[in-house]
């Protein structure tokens, strides 16, 4: 029998032995009828999502400008006046305040948080400090116990509370803390995570809002990052979070009296917290869950942007990834659980329902993550390989540029890092998109809770110790998703450089490099020395 050649098994139009040319010919034959229509559909969907995000960003920018022009400070929108001494009533004229500090194996920062809470200026018989310690390390529990005893010996009313399980994580600890008998005498509860340092006048500036405005349930302060200049990664985080506080929180407070509680640095009216159903552990964003439920009961919130509480940003890529997974997966899962409840609610206006469902959840918590990764890291690079599909310049250049500038103006000191921020955010959008779909589909990691690692940077900065630069630990741990995305972008960039007409290759090479850097380990952080 004559030996069959490979050429006999392929169409005559194929070159005989060049596999690369054969693959290229197959690609050209299926590209126009099969790939191009699907890619055009993807481009259309991404352009719609980009427009939604663009309109939302412009709307918030306009609101912020108007707020600044007309000086709509919280003190002007709500009644605020200092609580004054009453000779007849004495300290009973002051409301009773509970301060909760949830912590879990916080060896580096437990002294910091307890000390700051015990240093709050408020009548000593009208404040209770409650340390909710879920630590599993006996040595750390002993240290926290001794610290509480030290402050108690100074006359501070401090309670050390533990439980025999970690059910519900932070939400479970806060819920358990509210069950204590002494809490029934309290009017308000202030919550601070273990790395937060409120200034002594924090209660003097927040509690009067709740005292004089019975419709208010929450007063939220802004975060101030003590380690924002520690490394490039913390600078990038500061840019993103500054926009969240300066714009998103301020707009929600000014126009709808609703925004997501940040889980810390806020004071709640206990009656409002209880009416909303208390703490629930059905998602990893128990703070946002409580805020939405309280809002549906008709309660209002106020954001005090000029009141800042010091805290620490994650300074390792691993810690930041886990944090972003929780912050992206939780809201998507909460949206899935609450969208019908919001629609059926009869106590809030249709305009507020629209704001919560469309703007707060859908655009900011779902669309923003999906379009950032899908459009800029998948679809646009794919158009390089499919010349039949074009992305309009307004969608590929103008809208992204305006959105980026509107995000970046909140941190003017870091404008020169804008390119790095874009690349960093696109890499992180991979994890946020994955987490968003996990939340929407209630997949396996939907309730994963990993406590954000804290290195005690705030304490070390405060004590004046030197922060020394560590060597970048490249290759310490490989991240397959980032490496895969980097290979894809590198291939698209090389194809565009050699054969393309889109001229995206500079951007694609830069983005590929960012994925590779973060995929091959840590991005080179500054780690405090012991």
CA distance 527 to 460: 11
CA distance 289 to 281: 9
Q: Name which of 524, 516, 502, 361 is nearest 430 in CA terms.
A: 516
* Mean pLDDT value of segment 44-69: 95
Q: Average pLDDT of the chain?
A: 88
- Predicted local distance difference test score (pLDDT) of residue 71: 77
Structural domain includes residue 502 = no
CA distance 382 to 506: 15
Alpha helices (H) in 213-347, listed in sequence order? 232-243, 250-251, 270-275, 286-296, 317-344
CA distance 219 to 302: 5
Domain count within the chain: 1
Let me know the angle formed at the C-alpha of 441 by 347 and 275, rounded to the nearest 5 degrees.
25
- Edge-to-edge strand list for the sheet holding 158-162: 158-162, 127-133, 97-103, 188-191, 266-269, 216-225, 300-311
- Measured CA distances, 180 to 102, 128, 442 (Å): 15, 12, 33
- Predicted local distance difference test score (pLDDT) of residue 464: 46
- Predicted local distance difference test score (pLDDT) of residue 6: 39
Q: Answer with the residue of higher pLDDT: 24 or 36.
A: 36
Structural domain includes residue 210 = yes
CA distance 382 to 378: 6
Structural domain includes residue 487 = no
Structural domain includes residue 97 = yes
Give the domain range for residue 243. 93-317
pLDDT tens column, 157-191: 999 999 988 889 999 999 999 999 999 999 999 99
Q: Give the three-class secondary structure for 189.
A: strand
Question: Please, what sign has the CA dihedral across residues 509, 510, 515, 521?
Answer: positive
Checking if the pLDDT of 530 tops 70, the result is no
Question: Is residue 191 a contact partner of residue 218, using CB atoms and an 8 Å limit?
Answer: no
Checking if the pLDDT of 10 tops 70, the result is no
Checking if the pLDDT of 15 tops 70, the result is no
How does residue 265 score in pLDDT terms, banded at 50, 70 and 90? very high
pLDDT tens column, 450-469: 777 777 644 454 444 444 44
Work out whether strand 300-311 and strand 266-269 pair parallel, antiparallel, or are unpaired: unpaired
Length of the chain measured in residues: 530
Structural domain includes residue 343 = no
List the catalytic residues.
Answer: 134, 287
CATH assignment of the domain containing 308: 3.90.550.10
Phi, psi of 89 (to 5 degrees): -85, -25
How does residue 5 score in pLDDT terms, banded at 50, 70 and 90? very low
For 479, residues 6+ apart whose C-beta sits below 8 A from its C-beta are 518, 519, 520, 521
Structural domain includes residue 276 = yes
Tell how many helices (H) and how many strands (E) occur in the chain: 21, 7
Structural domain includes residue 140 = yes
Structural domain includes residue 169 = yes
For 467, residues 6+ apart whose C-beta sits below 8 A from its C-beta are 230, 457, 460, 461, 526, 528, 529
Q: Name which of 109, 518, 526, 108 is nearest 317 in CA terms.
A: 518
């Amino acid at each position: 029998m004559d030996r069959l050649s490979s050429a006999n098994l392929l169409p005559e139009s194929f070159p005989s032995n060049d596999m690369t040319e054969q693959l290229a010919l197959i690609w050209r034959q299926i590209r126009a009828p099969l790939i191009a229509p699907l890619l055009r559909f993807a481009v259309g969907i991404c352009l719609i999502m980009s427009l939604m995000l663009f309109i939302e960003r412009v709307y918030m920018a306009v609101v912020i400008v108007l707020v600044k022009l007309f000086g709509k400070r919280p003190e002007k929108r709500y009644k605020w006046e200092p609580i004054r001494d009453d000779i007849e009533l004495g300290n009973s004229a002051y409301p009773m305040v509970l301060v909760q500090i949830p912590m879990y194996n916080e060896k580096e920062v437990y002294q910091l948080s307890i000390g700051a809470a015990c240093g709050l200026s408020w009548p000593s018989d009208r404040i209770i400090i409650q340390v909710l310690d879920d630590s599993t390390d006996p040595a750390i529990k002993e240290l926290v116990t001794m610290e509480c005893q030290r402050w108690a010996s100074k006359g501070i009313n401090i309670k050390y509370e533990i439980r025999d399980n970690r059910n519900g994580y932070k939400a479970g600890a806060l819920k358990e803390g509210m069950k204590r008998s002494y809490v029934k005498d309290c009017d308000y509860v202030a919550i601070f995570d273990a790395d937060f340092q409120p200034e002594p006048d924090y209660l003097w500036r927040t509690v009067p809002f709740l005292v004089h405005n019975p419709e208010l349930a929450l007063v939220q302060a802004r975060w101030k990052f003590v380690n924002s200049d520690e490394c490039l990664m913390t600078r990038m985080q500061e840019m993103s979070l500054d926009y969240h506080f300066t714009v998103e929180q301020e707009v929600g407070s000014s126009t709808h009296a609703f925004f997501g509680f940040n889980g810390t640095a806020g004071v709640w009216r206990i009656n409002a917290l209880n009416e909303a159903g208390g703490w629930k552990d059905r998602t990893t964003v128990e703070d946002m869950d409580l805020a939405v439920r309280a809002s549906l009961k008709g309660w209002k919130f106020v954001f005090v942007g000029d009141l800042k509480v010091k805290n620490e940003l994650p300074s390792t890529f691993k810690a930041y990834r886990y944090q972003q997974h929780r912050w992206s997966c939780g809201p998507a899962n909460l949206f899935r659980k609450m969208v019908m409840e919001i629609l059926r609610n009869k106590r809030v206006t249709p305009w507020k329902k629209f704001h919560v469902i469309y703007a707060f959840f859908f655009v900011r918590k779902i669309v923003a993550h999906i379009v950032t990764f899908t459009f800029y890291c998948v679809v646009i690079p794919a158009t390089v390989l499919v010349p039949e599909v074009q992305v309009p310049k307004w969608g590929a250049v103008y809208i992204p540029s305006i959105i980026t500038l509107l995000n970046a103006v909140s941190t003017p000191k870091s404008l020169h890092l804008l390119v790095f921020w874009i690349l960093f955010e696109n890499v992180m959008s991979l994890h946020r998109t994955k987490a968003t779909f996990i939340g929407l589909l209630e997949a396996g990691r939907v309730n994963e809770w990993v406590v954000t690692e804290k290195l005690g940077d705030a304490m070390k900065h405060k004590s004046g110790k030197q922060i020394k630069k560590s060597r970048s630990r490249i290759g310490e741990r490989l991240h397959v998703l980032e490496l895969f995305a980097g290979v894809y972008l590198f291939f698209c960039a090389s194809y565009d450089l050699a054969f393309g007409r889109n001229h995206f290759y500079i951007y694609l090479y830069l983005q590929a490099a960012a994925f590779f850097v973060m995929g091959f380990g840590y991005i080179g952080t500054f780690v405090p020395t012991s």
